[in-house]
Amino acid sequence: MKKSIRLISLIASVIGGVCAADRPNILFIAIDDMRPEFGCYGSELAISPNLDKLASEGVLFERAYCQQAICSPSRASIMTGTRPDTNGVIENYTYFRDANPDTVTLPQYLISQGYETVHAGKIYHGKFDDQEKSWSRQPVSKLPGIKRPMPYAKKENMEIQNRNRAEAAAKYPPEARGGLGNGPAYEAGDVEDHFYTDGYDTLRAIATMKEMAKNPSKPFFIGLGFKKPHLNWIAPKRYWDLYDPEAITLAEHQEAPEDGAEMGLHASFELRVRHGIPKDGPIGPELARTLRHAYLACTSYVDAQIGYAIDALEEAGLRENTIILVWADHGWHLGDMGVWGKATNYEIATRVPLIAWTPDLPKSSRGKKTSALVELIDMYPTLCDLAGVGIPSHLEGTSFAPVLQKPNRKWKTAAFSQYPNPALREWAANPLSQGVRETFFGPLIEKVENRIIKQQGDKWDRDLFENDLMGYAMRTDRYRLVVWKDYTKPDAEPLFIELFDHRKDPAESRNVAAKRPELVKRLLKQFDAGWEAALPKDEG
Ligand SMILES: [Ca+2]
């Protein structure tokens, strides 16, 4: 059996090798924790000239959704082409390769089709980078005259981080201390772009691309992964200086949804573990403005790096034969609904930026925005489609290449996301440990837990709510339905349902499920039919 698989893959790679030279290169740009807040997405604040230019030449997706609003599950889903419930990665602790030893990832598959694949920066989550199977080579690791990047430019910030780490290690048990000792949430360093990771990784990606360009018989797939605007919000000062602090506005809707699920929102854990952020209570307007400023500075910093990468493609004469796909793994609440962080089932956390440029994009599509509902899981089959290689049968997404040809065509009837109980999970979505309850998170958790108990009445069951409660979100053209149920029992009745009407309430400020029982019934039927029933019909 093994022998025949090897033979098939050998034949495939030979065939791939024969035609591979004609296939397009792929520049796959991942942005961490980036909500769709660029100029081209209608932001009046964000300064993002390079992404705006790319969008003016390519196709911008106005309604793209991640499958889970946290790093590892979102990325595992994208890269394996399977949904979180299929691949079993619903928190940041499970390595997708351990849970799915034989899965074939996007870059792994492209290698079998004659591609050279490499990444600089964050494509998978942290150490789960599948080096052996997904990547055919290492990126350039030495850049003459350039030092390795640092987390902070200011000495005092490094000292604060080291001190807080040591204090957390002394104070808390090992299972609770992870991520608790941190430096400041933001910094404006008077440094070059490559002093911090994203600038450094961009230089590595460019140097690697130039090396690979010397061998035109092999197309390449470069994953360029930016760590900003993930916390900490650190960017060179010149990007902070692009903004007038007085002009920075705060989230328009800072209240939890009326009649919403008490478990739907968390207590902003990810931000509160940072130095200088209150451990309880509101994030005041002055701090909120600074944090928004920091996030915007990171946005512009990343935008500039994307500009450098695209310029380098042009200078190498490769732009006209390279697909560019820019995406983020999930959105982020910047005070929206009263919380800071990702990790919810709402529009703010699940909607992501997605911009595509392809060499053969028709003139009629260039610069267009599409409102087609697409999912990040669709990127794997789309890239296969655009590269002219077959689409593996295990994929649960759908190629959106037809949308690139005709951006206003009818497409999926729903996009699906999920997140386990945001209020009662640790901030990396792992079930709560007793140790974490003994940290400053304890009172915050208790507060939200009491509200859940009150809302749920006799449906409350600690074990179920802490370990097995999943929120499943379905976004249709008009509505967002969030179904809260026991994910270990697919036939279980929902424990709570939220319904938001985007035509009347784009901020998702009111859950109208109780007021619209007939509509809920109809949408539940659609939800139960699942993603397979939401696939686009052939327009002919
Ligand atoms: Ca992320």
pLDDT category, 539, cuts 50, 70, 90?
low
51 Cα: distance to centroid of ligand 1 (angstroms): 19
Residue 415 is classified by DSSP as E
Q: From the CA of 329, how far away is ligand 1's center (Å)?
A: 5
Give 495's pLDDT tier (boundaries 50, 70, 90). very high
Neighbours of ion ligand 1 (CB under 5 A): 32-33, 71, 329
Residue 125 Cα, ligand 1 centroid: separation in angstroms? 8
| Region of poorest pLDDT, from 9-18, 28-37, 441-450 | 9-18
Q: Please tell me the predicted confidence (pLDDT) of residue 428.
A: 83
- Close Cβ partners of 61 (under 8 Å, ≥ 6 residues apart): 353, 354, 355, 356, 369, 370, 372, 374, 400, 403
Average pLDDT, stretch 500-529?
Answer: 98
Q: Who contacts 528 (Cβ-Cβ below 8 Å, separation ≥6)? A: none
User: Which residues neighbour 91 within 8 Å (Cβ) at sequence distance 6 or greater?
Assistant: 70, 72, 73, 420, 425, 428, 429, 430
Nearest C-alpha neighbor of 59 from the set 329, 395, 411: 411
| Distance separating alpha carbons of residues 35 and 41, to the nearest angstrom | 10
CA 230–ligand 1 middle distance (angstroms): 6
Nearest to 373 by CA among 393, 354, 392: 354
pLDDT band (50, 70, 90) for residue 438: confident
CA 264 and chain centroid, separation:
19
71, 230, 298, 333: the active-site residue: 71
269 CA distance to ligand 1 middle (Å): 15
Compute the distance from residue 32 Cα to the ligand 1 centre, in Å. Answer: 4
As given in the structure block, the two tokens for residue 345 are 């089932």
Contact in structure between 203 and 146 (CB atoms under 8 Å):
yes
341 closest CA partner among 299, 283, 386: 283
- pLDDT tier for residue 1 given thresholds of 50, 70 and 90: very low
DSSP string, 83-97: -HHHH---SSSS-HH
DSSP 184: B
In angstroms, rounded to a whole number, what is the distance separating the alpha carbons of residues 479 and 344? Answer: 16
Q: Is the pLDDT of residue 248 over 50?
A: yes
Listed in sequence order, the residues at least 6 apart from 381 whose beta carbon sits closer than 8 Å to its beta carbon are 81, 391, 395, 397, 398, 399
Q: Are strands 333-334 and 340-341 parallel, antiparallel or unpaired?
A: antiparallel
Give dist(CA 106, CA 99) in Å, integer.
Answer: 17
Residue 391 pLDDT greater than 80, yes or no: yes
Structural domains present in the chain: 12-143+198-266+287-413 (3.40.720.10)
Closest CA to 412 of 426, 400, 424: 400
29-71 pLDDT per residue, tens: 999 999 999 999 999 999 999 999 999 999 999 999 999 999 9
Å from CA of 97 to ligand 1 middle: 19
**pLDDT of the residue at 286:** 97
Ligand 1 mean position, distance from CA 494 (Å): 28
- What pLDDT, on a 0 to 100 scale, did the predictor assign at position 6? 47
pLDDT digits (tens, 9 = 90+) for 402-416: 999 999 999 999 999
- pLDDT at 13 exceeding the cut of 90: no
Query: How far, in Å, is the centroid of ligand 1 from the Cα of 12?
Result: 34
Bond from prior residue into 92 cis (ω within 30 degrees of 0): no
Mean per-residue pLDDT over the chain, rounded: 94
| Catalytic-labelled residue, pool 119, 125, 293, 333 | 125
Q: Which residue has the higher pLDDT, 294 or 168?
A: 294
- Decide if 71 is catalytic: yes
Do 313 and 50 contact (CB within 8 A), yes or no?
no
Q: What is the 3-state secondary structure (H, E, C) of 150-164?
A: CCCCCHHHHHHHHHH
229: preceding bond cis by omega (within 30 degrees): yes
Provide CB contacts within 8 A for 206, sequence distance 6+.
308, 309, 312
Tell how strand 116-121 and strand 220-226 pair up. Answer: parallel
CA–chain centroid gap for 489, Å, is 27
Position 531 pLDDT exceeds 60: yes
Is 293 designated active site?
no
Single out the residue of 1, 16, 22, 36 nearest to residue 334, CA to CA: 36
Is the per-residue pLDDT at 148 higher than 90? yes
Q: Please check whether residue 369 is in contact with residue 384, taking contact to mean a CB–CB distance below 8 angstroms.
A: no
φ/ψ of 301, rounded to 5, equals -60, -50
Q: pLDDT tens digits, residue range 511-520?
A: 999 999 999 9
Q: Kind of pairing, strands 354-357 and 322-328? A: antiparallel
228 alpha carbon – ligand 1 mean position (Å): 9
Ligand 1 centroid–CA 98 distance in Å is: 21
Secondary structure (3-state) at 18 = helix
Q: Please give the distance, rounded to the nearest whole angstrom, from the Cα atom of residue 34 to the centre of ligand 1.
A: 8
* Ligand 1 midpoint to CA 33 (Å): 4
Mean pLDDT score, 96-124: 98
Judge whether 339 and 333 are in contact, CB under 8 Å: yes
Query: To which H or E segment does residue 290 belong?
Result: helix 285-315
Give the global pTM: 0.95
**DSSP strand E in 89-180: where?**
116-121
